[in-house]
Amino acid sequence: METEVKLTKLASCAGCGAKVGAGTLSCLLEGFQTHKDPRLVVGYDKSDDACVYVVNEETALIQTTDFFPPIVDDPFLYGQIAAANALSDVYAMGGEPRLALNIMCVTETMDTTTIQEILRGGYSKVFEAGAVIAGGHTIHGAEPIYGLAVSGFIDPQKVLTNSAARPGDVLILTKPLGVGILTTAAKADMVEAPVMDRIYQQMATLNKTARDIMVKYPVHSCTDVTGFSLLGHSFEMAQGSGCSIHLCADKVPYHKEAYELAEMGFIPAGAYRNREFAQAGVYAAETLSRALQDIFYDPQTSGGLLIALPQNSAQELLKELQDRIPSAAIIGYATEKQDYPIYLESDS
């Protein structure tokens, strides 16, 4: 749907590119006094995708929130992408979303139809996830914002975190990279419409299928690759797990159009924040181009799952994933802790 007011023109940042950098976030959250509760098994101190609160022996509650400015002008599609992105945190922990609340900021220039279409897009994805939107909160402001607070459930013994990878694990990524670069270039009309249609479809795709397949296997650790980029989220996984992660640059799926655009300098601001956060912990092969490294630091909106599991189960999981998600690929492995948390390697 086209709107007279271009949503992306109302926002200074787009999608997860608006996310506060991981390093800045750590400083902002440092030193606050909070209550301790043994039932809170994952909190904000874990740098994880969501919090987890144990209700009883059979049930744990997963809670998360995610929202951002428009990444596309079509309001229905914007709502879909924002909702898929918010739901992803629950999927990354192995859980099933059940309840959601709308979070919305509207500007004076947005008409009723545009606002309704954003909400309708969000409702469509929550319905697809099998969850219910039970309310929300809307305010007026300078820029449009939309997202969700999501609650999901999981068996407490089956919670997946981003800090439990083990030496010998293989890493699988389910969606290709380059979304931030491509959406940045699209603002300057540098990307053909069919390419962006493919990118929008990817961002609006739930990680539900990947989650449903993943939980059938002995996965040790999982996170979704979003605003902190592949290298930022891998860095958090390596630090939290006390291991080193080796990424095979030649095996990482990315949209080929993003490479040329990265060479031309269409790099979102979030990529520079991600590089500042993680690069001291990344050893990159000298043969890797700056453009390719920029893709690995590129903030993703509604990105794929990064899954760590034992080598003897990885090929079977990959095959089942690729039957439904052709872009899924084995991109690396974990080892005992070495000099660097991340090794970005290349066969060429």
Say if residues 277 and 228 touch (Cβ distance below 8 Å): yes
- The Cα angle at residue 277 between residues 48 and 71, in degrees rounded to 5: 70
Output the six-digit token pair for 20: 């506060």
**If we measure between CA atoms, which residue out of 179, 183, 186, 265 comes closest to residue 226?**
179
**If we measure between CA atoms, which residue out of 142, 137, 141, 50 comes closest to residue 88?**
50
16 is catalytic: yes
CB atoms near residue 176 (< 10 Å): 22
Helix, strand, coil shares of the chain, percent, nearest 5, are 40, 25, 35
Pairwise CA distance, residues 55 & 332, whole Å: 36
Catalytic site residue from 13, 16, 51, 243: 16
Q: Where are the alpha helices (DSSP H) in the chain?
A: 22-28, 75-92, 112-128, 179-186, 193-204, 208-214, 229-241, 256-263, 269-278, 290-297, 311-324
Amino acid at 103: I
Pairwise CA distance, residues 158 & 168, whole Å: 20
Pairwise CA distance, residues 279 & 262, whole Å: 18
Say if residues 175 and 54 touch (Cβ distance below 8 Å): no
Output the six-digit token pair for 143: 């820029």
Say if residues 324 and 237 touch (Cβ distance below 8 Å): no
**If we measure between CA atoms, which residue out of 84, 112, 116, 114 comes closest to residue 100?**
84
Three-state DSSP class for 94? coil
Say if residues 298 and 177 touch (Cβ distance below 8 Å): yes
Active site residues: 16
